[in-house]
A and B are shown apart, each in its own frame.
Chain A
Amino acid sequence: MLFHSFAFFVLFTVTFVVYWRIKDHRIRVISLVVASIVFYAHWNYLLVLLVLFSALFDFQMARWIEVSQSPSRRKALLTVSICTSLGLLAFFKYTNFLINAVYSVAHSLGIESSVPVLQVVLPLGISFYTFETISYVVDVYRGCIKAEQNFHDYALFLMFFPHLIAGPIVRPGHFLPQVKRIKYLNWQRVQSGVQLFLLGLFKKAVIADQLANLVDPVFASPGVYSSGTLRAAVLCYTIQIYCDFSGYSDMAIGLAHTLGFHLPVNFNMPYFALNVADFWRRWHISLSTWLRDYLYIPLGGNRRGSARMYCNIMVTMLLGGLWHGAGWTFIFWGFYHGLLLAVHRAIRWPAWLGNKMFVPFRILTTFLCVSIGWVFFRAKSFPDAWLIIRRMFVPAQGLELPPHVAMLVAAVFALVLLAHVLSLVVNWGELLRRMPIQVVAAVVAIGFILAQLFTPDSGGAFIYFQF
């Protein structure tokens, strides 16, 4: 269920009341696990068993790893755990992609046969919770954390409903201690959570979903639109994916806040990044740090020479692209960012470029590079992506945006930019604390009402749900 649906509102209200009324800590944790199961089962009550299986399997594997003395046995258990997790992910997410890839290769070799298509339902959130189980088992193996002895605590780490479907990807070392800590209802924290939820709701429902109305038809038929329209659509998609995903993260973090949990920040104004490396320190932080800690560094990072470093960067980003979706455009998007990171690393940037007067230029260049990458991320196919990029830079005739729509697009862009700039100069927390409560209450209430009013009929699902 979507966070901004009436059904979720009912579930969350009941969960919140029940959770804070319960005095026993263990029962509290179990109540959250039950709420998370209900949350997931509302989408598909059979596939909730898959999540529970993953939880139980890795819970037990971690316990065996911890008690095992033999290094080879520990390694074998770790391998089995990771292979099982990745195997499930590969089956549910990549089966048809792999079948199509094999048949494409066979076809290019002149071998003709029909392509079977398996009707595999992609379990929501599988990419996210798979990474969380892997990080848990690896951390236990490395001795960074102790294996959980209570299944309900581990189940909550994996299935906590705010982050279950689309992250942030939480680390066991960060989340499990919070599960064990006894919490007390802090209304200040609840207020912060509600405000953050409202911000996320606004970004998602009002900005991202509205922009989708423009983006979707243009990306569906890019050949009929003019260069101006395509550029506007790409710009809109750049904003849409940011507002959609960061909006979801804000809602997730806000909800967790109200229940006394802290989830990691996932976005830090990524479009103000000075370069591609900086972008990945600000965009989907939980994923980029996961890839760094569990893929890039174990592969050797930058400690085995330049060639190996570039290779590690490319492998990490290619797999990062593949994680996003079972499609060659996603893999290419990962390759593109890997290439940008490698080039950024390879070039010895002159010191004068660090001068403050070049900051806008660096931000714009990074923004342009990232926006081009989004074309591949969003386009249905390579031909469509190349067509869009070509028509963006080579003037072409086609359907133009109506003037009032172009103005609205400019207004949305200006609004998002203004919000970012204000975030840099205004301490919103302090400002809200100084305001009279009547004003704050009115702003919160009106915010929710406006978000309801401007939520479009169509759409609603989060972009990252498909991952």
Chain B
Amino acid sequence: MITAPHQLFSTIWRLRLKIEISRGRTKSDRSRRCLLLAGLVFLAVQLGVGLILDRSLPKIRFLYAEQVMNAAAGLSRSPDIVFMGSSRFRGGLNMGQLQEFMSTSFGADAPLMFNAALPAGDPFVMDYLIRLLARQGIAPGMAIIEVSPETVMLGCPWTDFEIIRLITWQDMPDALQDFIASWKHISHLPSSRIIPISLYRKELLTWIFDSPPPYLKAASAAAPPPDRSAAPDVNKGSTPEPAEDSTKSQPAEDSTKSQPAADSTKPQPVPGNAKLFRNYQIRGINAQHLESMMAYLHQRNVSVILVGFPADRVALDCYTPEINRKFMDYIEYLGRAYGCSFVDCRYRVPNEFFKDEVHLGPAGAVLFTHMLESEVLHDAWMNFRRSQKNEYSGVEGAGK
């Protein structure tokens, strides 16, 4: 019981202090809840957008594939032969030369060919693309598929590109061992899964505003580009090529996407770096998808020819006898299991025809194309046509 005024004041003061402290705690709690809620909203939006991006493939994340699809849609009919691979196939095949050769050899029976290769086109990409093309009604009779020791290995050098372009939450369990094997080269994994809005902001803005950034741009003071029609284009052919869009931030095999300046000092994953082939094993997401694609094509009676694309001496030196043995054993297994054939052109082109370790220059493209058309495609197409005719006449005979 309060007996004196000073006790009354003391009690009131203690009460006020308690109220102030509890208000302070309330304010602090409020701020903590606010920050927690903001963090949850931020994460939820990021993950939500990430899921939408996964489901809307290839539209926003994988514009190169979208371009290939558009190019395929522009064909007069379903192509007879589809080439699938990476920028090596893309730049190393002179489609015009190829089409001309086949037309000269076969006349009206010449195949319509389509180059569906795209940068960093490993088996994961090829499997995805062939199914997309099938949904569009593309049903080739033959598929020429680029393959090399590095594209079927655990921890393929292009895993980071696949993280940006193709890998979804569903693929994460299967791709885990590839991530572990190539942990030094997968810098985009956290941002692609946790903050995809940041990683794909250019693509998202292009999709939202129907025009790529930057939007604040003065007219360029640079000289107009040189007249491209004057120089021969080794890739010109009868099939419409996807437009080269410099505003797209999709990676070529040796460029980086949305990288801050500091990351440009990282070593690029090209075969010349022998460290990539340490603990070489053929398994993981790319080997799985290669076999999945082979099974898919085999089911649809598509004749498959695997091609070991040429490489220069520096890259070839990375293929130790042990690696070559494992690779060839694997190719043999694929042949037995899926009835495909293999043409090894890796050691066929001299060094001077390369513009870097794995990409052919214009003269090299002419040489390789000639090699392919005369040694592989001509006979392959002839046999394919023969078997088709036999099948047709067999069907007619049965009908009678």
Chain B contacts for A194, CB-based, 8 A = 35, 38
Q: In whole angstroms, how far apart are the Cα atoms of A399 and B35 in the complex? A: 48
Q: In whole angstroms, how far apart are the Cα atoms of A224 and B222 in the complex? A: 10
Do the beta carbons of A401 and B34 come within 8 Å of each other? no
Q: How many A-B residue pairs have CB under 8 A?
A: 121
Q: Which of A2, A236, A444 contacts B260 (CB 8 A)?
A: A2
Distance in Å: Cβ of A123 to nearest Cβ of chain B: 16
Do the beta carbons of A218 and B218 come within 8 Å of each other? yes
Do the beta carbons of B261 and A217 come within 8 Å of each other? no
Chain B contacts for A264, CB-based, 8 A = none
Q: In whole angstroms, how far apart are the Cα atoms of A42 and B46 in the complex? A: 27
Chain B contacts for A412, CB-based, 8 A = 216
Do the beta carbons of B195 and A6 come within 8 Å of each other? yes
Chain B contacts for A188, CB-based, 8 A = 27-28, 30-31
Q: In whole angstroms, how far apart are the Cα atoms of A409 and B217 in the complex? A: 10
- Closest-by-CB residue of B relative to A191 is B31
Q: In whole angstroms, how far apart are the Cα atoms of A13 and B45 in the complex? A: 20
Q: In whole angstroms, how far apart are the Cα atoms of A217 and B219 in the complex? A: 9
Do the beta carbons of B219 and A213 come within 8 Å of each other? no
Do the beta carbons of B221 and A217 come within 8 Å of each other? yes
The proximity string for B residues 31-65 relative to A, scoring 1 for CB distances below 8 Å and 0 otherwise, is 11111011101100110000000000000000000
Do the beta carbons of A441 and B34 come within 8 Å of each other? yes
Chain B contacts for A455, CB-based, 8 A = 198, 201
Q: In whole angstroms, how far apart are the Cα atoms of A432 and B42 in the complex? A: 19
Do the beta carbons of B37 and A225 come within 8 Å of each other? no
Q: In whole angstroms, how far apart are the Cα atoms of A388 and B8 in the complex? A: 76
Distance in Å: Cβ of B24 to nearest Cβ of chain A: 8
Q: In whole angstroms, how far apart are the Cα atoms of A194 and B190 in the complex? A: 22
Do the beta carbons of A437 and B37 come within 8 Å of each other? yes
Distance in Å: Cβ of A20 to nearest Cβ of chain B: 12
Q: Which of A43, A187, A456 contacts B32 (CB 8 A)?
A: A187
Are A438 and B37 also in contact (CB < 8 A) when A213-B216, A229-B218 are?
yes
Asked if B383 is an interface residue, CB under 8 A from chain A, the answer is no
Chain A contacts for B31, CB-based, 8 A = 187-188, 190-191
- Tell me the dominant secondary structure on chain A's binding face: helix
> B229-268: which residues lie under 8 A (CB-CB) from chain A?
249, 258, 260-262
Do the beta carbons of B217 and A190 come within 8 Å of each other? no
- Closest-by-CB residue of B relative to A229 is B218
Distance in Å: Cβ of A210 to nearest Cβ of chain B: 5
Stretch at the interface among A99-107, A415-423, A445-453: A445-453
Q: In whole angstroms, how far apart are the Cα atoms of A458 and B212 in the complex? A: 13
Distance in Å: Cβ of A265 to nearest Cβ of chain B: 22
Asked if B387 is an interface residue, CB under 8 A from chain A, the answer is no
- Closest-by-CB residue of B relative to A258 is B35
Asked if A113 is an interface residue, CB under 8 A from chain B, the answer is no
Asked if B375 is an interface residue, CB under 8 A from chain A, the answer is no
Do the beta carbons of B35 and A214 come within 8 Å of each other? no
Do the beta carbons of A445 and B214 come within 8 Å of each other? no
- Closest-by-CB residue of B relative to A185 is B28
Chain A contacts for B190, CB-based, 8 A = 6
The proximity string for B residues 207-232 relative to A, scoring 1 for CB distances below 8 Å and 0 otherwise, is 00000011111111100000000000
Asked if A461 is an interface residue, CB under 8 A from chain B, the answer is yes
Asked if A402 is an interface residue, CB under 8 A from chain B, the answer is yes
Q: Which of A405, A408, A440, A453 contacts B201 (CB 8 A)?
A: A453
Distance in Å: Cβ of B213 to nearest Cβ of chain A: 6
> A212-244: which residues lie under 8 A (CB-CB) from chain B?
213-214, 217-218, 220-221, 224-225, 229, 233, 236
Distance in Å: Cβ of A388 to nearest Cβ of chain B: 13
Asked if B112 is an interface residue, CB under 8 A from chain A, the answer is no
Q: Which of B45, B197, B221, B261 contacts A221 (CB 8 A)?
A: B221
- Closest-by-CB residue of B relative to A222 is B221
Do the beta carbons of A408 and B215 come within 8 Å of each other? yes
Distance in Å: Cβ of A439 to nearest Cβ of chain B: 10
Chain B contacts for A327, CB-based, 8 A = none
Asked if A379 is an interface residue, CB under 8 A from chain B, the answer is no
Q: In whole angstroms, how far apart are the Cα atoms of A401 and B218 in the complex? A: 6
The proximity string for A residues 425-444 relative to B, scoring 1 for CB distances below 8 Å and 0 otherwise, is 00000000000011011101
Chain A contacts for B214, CB-based, 8 A = 210, 213, 456, 458
Do the beta carbons of B261 and A224 come within 8 Å of each other? no
Do the beta carbons of A452 and B195 come within 8 Å of each other? yes
The proximity string for A residues 1-35 relative to B, scoring 1 for CB distances below 8 Å and 0 otherwise, is 11001100000000000000000000000000000
Do the beta carbons of B28 and A187 come within 8 Å of each other? yes
The proximity string for B residues 174-208 relative to A, scoring 1 for CB distances below 8 Å and 0 otherwise, is 00000000000000001100010110011011000
Q: Which of B41, B219, B258 contacts A442 (CB 8 A)?
A: B41
Distance in Å: Cβ of A398 to nearest Cβ of chain B: 9
Asked if A82 is an interface residue, CB under 8 A from chain B, the answer is no
Q: Which of A187, A402, A452 contacts B198 (CB 8 A)?
A: A452
Asked if A211 is an interface residue, CB under 8 A from chain B, the answer is yes
- Closest-by-CB residue of B relative to A412 is B216
Asked if A454 is an interface residue, CB under 8 A from chain B, the answer is yes
Q: Which of B45, B205, B216, B262 contacts A405 (CB 8 A)?
A: B216
**Most B-side CB within 10 Å, residue of A224, A236, A449:** A449
- Closest-by-CB residue of A relative to B196 is A452
Distance in Å: Cβ of A331 to nearest Cβ of chain B: 28
Q: In whole angstroms, how far apart are the Cα atoms of A441 and B27 in the complex? A: 15
Distance in Å: Cβ of B391 to nearest Cβ of chain A: 53
* Among all A-B residue pairs, the 9 with the closest Cβ atoms: A441-B37, A445-B41, A187-B31, A213-B214, A191-B31, A221-B221, A441-B38, A187-B32, A444-B38
23 A-B pairs with C-beta separation under 8 A: A1-B262, A6-B191, A42-B262, A43-B262, A187-B31, A190-B32, A191-B31, A213-B217, A214-B217, A217-B218, A229-B218, A401-B218, A401-B219, A405-B216, A408-B215, A441-B37, A441-B38, A442-B38, A449-B45, A453-B198, A455-B198, A457-B213, A461-B261
Which residues of B does A touch, CB under 8 Å? 27-35, 37-39, 41-42, 45-46, 190-191, 195, 197-198, 201-202, 204-205, 213-221, 249, 258, 260-262
Which residues of A does B touch, CB under 8 Å? 1-2, 5-6, 42-43, 186-188, 190-191, 194, 210-211, 213-214, 217-218, 220-221, 224-225, 229, 233, 236, 399-402, 404-405, 408-409, 412, 437-438, 440-442, 444-446, 448-449, 452-458, 460-461
